[in-house]
Amino acid sequence: MRCPFCGHDDTQVKDSRPTEDNAAIRRRRACPECGARFTTFERVHLRELTVVKANGKREVFERDKMERSMRVALRKRPVEEDRISRVVTSMVRRLETMGETEIPAAQVGELVMEALRSLDSVAYVRFASVYRDFREAKDFEAFIGALDEDDI
């Protein structure tokens, strides 16, 4: 592993332990060149996933990108950090075990919407406003009206 501070190619693992949810290995590393210490996380990938965009473009699936978009929607909401990580891990496992290597972006978006709906209704509406491209206040009204009807 390359040192992120000085670029030295050979760092040493000082400590390894599983994360709280056992979804990754946390490694404490030290650089013998500059003495810097840093942490890396190692996760299991069952298969390489590709996301197929609406325009046909293909991109490698990035767990971090999905997690970032959820965290933006959940910003300043009362949802614990570890709960977000567990939900993201669960969604990635679900995608990996579907048996497909190419997944439509719309399917990933709907999966995120479903997860946010169960975590926090405000975050759900925030994400939907971008994902569904709300342009006017009436778009919000219609969406929230449908949300209220589903809860009845």
pLDDT in tens, 57-96: 999 999 999 999 999 999 999 999 889 988 998 999 899 8
pTM of the predicted protein model: 0.67
User: Where are any strands of DSSP class E within 1-152?
Assistant: 12-18, 24-30, 37-43, 50-52, 58-60, 102-104
Residue ranges in 23-104 assigned as alpha helix (H): 63-73, 81-96
> Are 113 and 124 a contacting pair, CB within 8 Å?
yes
State percent of the chain over pLDDT 90: 62
What per-residue confidence (pLDDT) applies to 99?
82
Quick one: average pLDDT of 3-21?
91
